[in-house]
Structure 1
Amino acid sequence: MELPFGLGNRTHMKFTSLIFFIFCCCSFVWRSEADCLTPQRGETSVLTDQAHLMDDFPEGSKVTLECRNGYVKEAGSDAIYCQGGKWTAIELVCKKFDCGVPQPQPNMIFNTSAGTLFGDIMTVSCDKGYQISGTSYKQCFPRGWLGRAQCHIRKCKFPAEVNNGKCLWASQDPPTYGESIKFECDEGFVLTGNSTIQCGETGEYNSPPPECKDISTTAAPPTTAAPPTTAAAAAAHKDKIITHNAEVTTRQEIHDKAKDSNKDVDHFPVIIGAVVVCLVVCIGAICLHRHFLKRKGSYNTREDLKPKLFLFQNA
């Protein structure tokens, strides 16, 4: 039986189209099973720019990885391959970039106790008498430490003018930390306070400027000398020790003289007793002498004249 005209052609076309559709589906399924999907980046790694430009990844394709920003390669291969529709394991090992210890800066102090790896932050400070400008910290980035800071020496303002006196500062620039300014008074005036003031670590002077007072209204000039130095203090201490020793020696001599005087006083009764004994002995001797004279008749008895008197009376 023959088909009507044109019916066979239409059936043949439909059959051909069906076969082509089945072939395409089979090709797509086969291709899908052989190709790999877009690879995923690792924990510390990413795809290179070349891998990002690839549209498909057929069997045997090679993709290169690289470390993420802030990380550097430590070990392992940076390539993965498409095998059996799957990617091989990522072997690339990356570690954080280390900025290291920063280069020393004049009068600047770095505190890296928090670490020196990518993302770590260190603090910045200045030496005594210096002031920081900029940021007080730096952070570690892939290019190194980021953050600008400088340390400038502290400056003090010019002190107020002193009436009836003058400031002995010749420079046009203000004093900086550690520098001193001296003052002196005009003739006929005496300085009250410190004759020298020093610029301190905070930008302030260690004492206010002195005053100059009229001598005629001042009872006694105050001490204007600066605090003694170590050598002067040592000399003063030595003089004090010598004075103390002299005082001790003087007191010892006075004590010895008083002791000798007491010894003389202790001998005084003995001397008086000796004198009394001598007087008693002398008086006793005189008495004995008179007694012997009396017995001989020559002691105010005038017995030796009696015979003459008798002769005179008998005549």
Structure 2
Amino acid sequence: MDVFLDTCGGRRAAVLLMLYSVVVKAAADCAKPLGGENTVLTNAALLMNTFPEGVEVTLECAKGFVFESGSGKITCNDNNWTEPDLICKKKDCGPPKPQPNMSFNTSAGTLFGAVIAVVCHKGFEVSGSGYKQCYAKGWSGRAVCELVTCGEPAKVTNGTSSWDYQDYPKYGEIIHYVCNKGFTLVGNNSVMCSETGGYDPQPPTCQGVTTESITITNMATTASPAKVSTSTDPPATPRTHRDKTVSTSATPAVSPSVRGGRDISTAEDEATTTSGTSTTSTPLYTDKPGETVDTNKEIGYFPVIISVVCVFLAVCIIALFLHKYLLKRKGSYDTREDLKPELLLFQNL
């Protein structure tokens, strides 16, 4: 009986001792370590299930970060991990590789996670992604700057362009316009493919030549420098200016006969005869070249001149008849002794 009791007590003590050792051992293991902001466990540490006292694991830099300093090892000590000494920093992708006709806006930096814009030179446009981002393996996105092309040039009615219909015009290419015969080009005769893919300036237009414009053009080219009078009023008596007026007698002057068949005329008679006859005048002249005399101003003097001439002619005729009358009263024989010196002067002329 005593032996049975001793056997049962020993078994209980062994079980209790075993349980104690398991609990103490479990309490001495460390929890699974966690990585930092820019560090992670190595693959070997990730495969471990338990981390007993004294065990050592290694940390490494996360993707997008690069090693700067430290060993990266931590140890389980009294149920706690030692402080890691690994320091990692962001990866720097650096400036992107140069591309033809391309530049980059790197104001956001070139470190891991940064996003930059692709900028093409004037006259070029982006084909592909317009942005690049810095990843662990470098810059993402592919872009190419291609030359800007414009659409089909505008067609002009009654005109043609220099576009050959093969390839679309590219940046800087100039298209010329020509109007058909009989039409006039209004606006610029050429347009250029701009950097925006449009044309600058606006295309011209072709307008037909009107009869009015032809008349105005002819008048401008054939206009005479001097004015020509087209008045239908009766021609006024031209005034004498220097030696430009020429008068010709159309009828003989009054020439009474006396004995001997001699004609008696006076200087006044000759002036009267000249004034009373028809005249052929040349165009009037003035002191200033190219200036035309306004004949309408001379018409006002014409009646006055005619009146004076008529009165003068009437006086001369009366004097002539009075002279004949006096000769008849003295008889048919004229000794010419009673003639006054003035009459002898007229007979000798």
TM-score (norm 1): 0.60
Contact between 1:42 and 1:90, CA under 8 Å: does it hold in 2?
A: no
**2:107 aligns to what?**
113
Q: How does 1:288-299 map to 2 (within 5 A)?
A: none
In the alignment, structure 1 residue 72 sits paired with structure 2 residue 71: no
For 1:99 and 1:43, the matched residues in 2 are separated by 20
In the alignment, structure 1 residue 180 sits paired with structure 2 residue 150: no
**1:125 aligns to what?**
119
In the alignment, structure 1 residue 206 sits paired with structure 2 residue 200: yes
* Higher helix proportion (structure 1 or 2): 1
In the alignment, structure 1 residue 191 sits paired with structure 2 residue 192: no
In the alignment, structure 1 residue 97 sits paired with structure 2 residue 97: no
Q: Please list the CA deviations of residues 20-77 of structure 1 after superposition, one character each: whole Å capped at 9, or x if unmatched.
A: 2222133124423543332232232111121011122234322111112221111110
For 2:108 and 2:181, the matched residues in 1 are separated by 63
For 1:44 and 1:53, the matched residues in 2 are separated by 20
In the alignment, structure 1 residue 36 sits paired with structure 2 residue 30: yes
For 2:126 and 2:120, the matched residues in 1 are separated by 6
Deviation at 1:165, TM superposition (A): 2.3
Q: Match of 2:213, SS?
A: coil
In the alignment, structure 1 residue 26 sits paired with structure 2 residue 27: no
**1:58 aligns to what?**
52
Give the stretch that moved more between structures: 40-49 or 76-85. Answer: 76-85
Distance 1:217 1:21, change over 3 A: farther
For 1:106 and 1:17, the matched residues in 2 are separated by 87
**1:224 aligns to what?**
none
Q: Please list the CA deviations of residues 153-195 of structure 1 after superposition, one character each: whole Å capped at 9, or x if unmatched.
A: 3222212322332211225111111111012223333322211
Q: Please list the CA deviations of residues 221-273 of structure 1 after superposition, one character each: whole Å capped at 9, or x if unmatched.
A: xxxxxxxxxxxxxxxxxxxxxxxxxxxxxxxxxxxxxxxxxxxxxxxxxxxxx
Counterpart code for 2:157: N
Q: Match of 1:219, SS?
A: helix
Structure 1: stretches of 5+ with no match in the other structure? 221-315
Within the candidate set 130, 143, 150, 1:149 is matched to 143
Q: Match of 2:10, SS?
A: helix
Give the RMSD, CA atoms, in angstroms.
Answer: 2.5
Q: Match of 2:200, SS?
A: coil
Q: Match of 2:12, SS?
A: helix
Deviation at 1:98, TM superposition (A): 1.0
Q: How does 1:253-264 map to 2 (within 5 A)?
A: none
For 2:6 and 2:102, the matched residues in 1 are separated by 91
Identity percentage of aligned residues: 47
**2:163 aligns to what?**
169
Distance 1:219 1:175, change over 3 A: same
Q: Please list the CA deviations of residues 124-162 of structure 1 after superposition, one character each: whole Å capped at 9, or x if unmatched.
A: 232222333444322221111223433333222212322
For 1:39 and 1:215, the matched residues in 2 are separated by 94
Count of residue correspondences: 214
Q: Match of 2:167, SS?
A: coil
